[in-house]
Amino acid sequence: SYVLTQPPAVSVAPGQTARVTCEGDNIGVKSVHWYQQRPGQAPVVFIYQDTNRPSGIPDRISGSNSGNMATLTINRVDAGDEADYYCHVWDSDRSRPVFGGGTKLTVL
């Protein structure tokens, strides 16, 4: 089955850039969605179809996808960005969705 690998944790100082990666076999040909989940809350779409931001998501948030890696980039990080982030793709071979294991972003 298709596997998505994320680093368990990423730490970054306020004002710096955070990059959360999602690794998968030839993931660049798939459409990647990202979710943000704050403690005690349901996940929320953060980036969809590799690079698109839902309304209300600021433009300091971006996504990219190429080769074997998709990346969620958060510029000018602040304390409000502390959350868990999950990538998600559709596994066409098994006709089912797959989630990455999640990355906890900590703002130092």
Partner 1 sequence: QVHLVESGGGLVKPGGSLRLSCAASGFAFSDYYMTWIRQAPGKGLEWVSHISTAGLIISYADSVKGRFTISRDNAYNSLDLEMNRLRAEDTAIYYCARSRITSSGWDPYDYWGQGTLVTVSS
Residues 6+ apart with CB under 8 A from 66: 28
Residue with tokens 């972003």: 105
Q: How far apart are CA 89 and CA 29, in angstroms?
A: 10
Segment 34-53, which members bind partner 1 (CB under 8 A)? 35, 42-45, 48-49
Site stretch for partner 1 (CB under 8 A), options 11-19, 61-69, 71-79, 80-88: 80-88
Shortest CB 31 distance to partner 1, Å: 5
Select from 28, 75, 99, 106 the one that contacts partner 1 (CB under 8 A).
Answer: 99
Cα–Cα distances in angstroms (integers) from residue 31 to residues 10, 13, 34, 77, 105, in the given order: 23, 30, 10, 25, 23
**76 scored as a contact of partner 1 (CB under 8 A):** no
Residue selected from 31, 62, 64, 75 as contacting partner 1 according to rule CB under 8 A? 31
Measured at the CA of 45, the angle between CA 43 and CA 46, to 5 degrees, comes to 110
Nearer to partner 1, 15 or 97 (CB): 97
Question: Site residues (CB under 8 A) for partner 1?
Answer: 31, 33, 35, 42-45, 48-49, 54, 84, 86, 88, 90, 95-102
